[in-house]
Amino acid sequence: MNIEKALRLPFAGGFTRIVIGAVLNCIPIVNFLCGGYLIELTANTIKGREEMPAWDGWGNKFIKGLMVLIITFLYMLIPLLFLTIAGGMGSYSADSLTAGAIPCFIAALVAWFILPMGLAHYAATGTIGSALSLRNIFSFIGSVFGNYLGIYLVSIVMFFVLGILSLIPFLGWIVSILGGFYSACVLAVLFGDAYRRANLKIYGDGITLLKL
């Protein structure tokens, strides 16, 4: 799926779905629903269904969103460990703090790079175990590395642009709220498509997912 198509797809179900997601995303705890919605959108893309999910099945969406939080936390454990070590070292010297912060930063970059594929594994299988199966995740990323890296760079550009637009007086907060959820939807589609391409290369039959 090309980027232009992914940029249009979030409007396929009408702008109302974007507005609902943007509003819910502003409410703590309730915003778990948005995480679940994005997982369902990723799953749709993996299955070749180019459509936005409906805002229904609230309980199911909430549970999926909670799983997204847990998976993200688990991916961030190693960077957090480095950060804790760096904090302890920093009490002795500034140089020690700097030296400890560097591996923390690198670990965070690596974790954020592989996390989208981990979440795509969860979207495809519905299990946290598959989201943490690094052997499969690295295999999938490696099979579509150019495409995956391109999407990752697009995500950086999108949120950088969103950050600039959010500085617009009066309208900036509206752009930030709506644009943030819209951007997340676009990336869910793109990463879901990357997962589908990887699955086709590795298994060759489209929807036979993850021989764990």
Residue 92 to residue 174: CA distance in whole angstroms: 45
Residue 100 to residue 50: CA distance in whole angstroms: 44
pLDDT average, residue stretch 141-164: 93
Tokens of 176: 């930030």
**pLDDT value, residue 65:** 97
Coil, strand or helix at 1: coil
Residue 113 to residue 101: CA distance in whole angstroms: 18
Nearest to 50 by CA among 18, 2, 115, 121: 2
pLDDT average, residue stretch 144-152: 95
Contact 1, 190 (CB under 8 A): yes
For the whole model, what pTM was predicted? 0.87
Contact 68, 62 (CB under 8 A): no
Diameter of the chain measured on Cα atoms: 56
Residue 96 to residue 89: CA distance in whole angstroms: 5
**Helix pair 32-46, 58-75: axis angle to 10 deg:** 90
Q: What percent of the chain has pLDDT over 90?
A: 63
Nearest to 16 by CA among 178, 202, 200: 178
**pLDDT value, residue 14:** 78
**pLDDT value, residue 211:** 41
- Residue 85's alpha-carbon distances to 54, 75, 78, 101, 191, in angstroms, are 44, 17, 11, 9, 33
Start-to-end CA span in the chain (Å): 27
pLDDT band at 13 (very low <50, low <70, confident <90, very high): confident
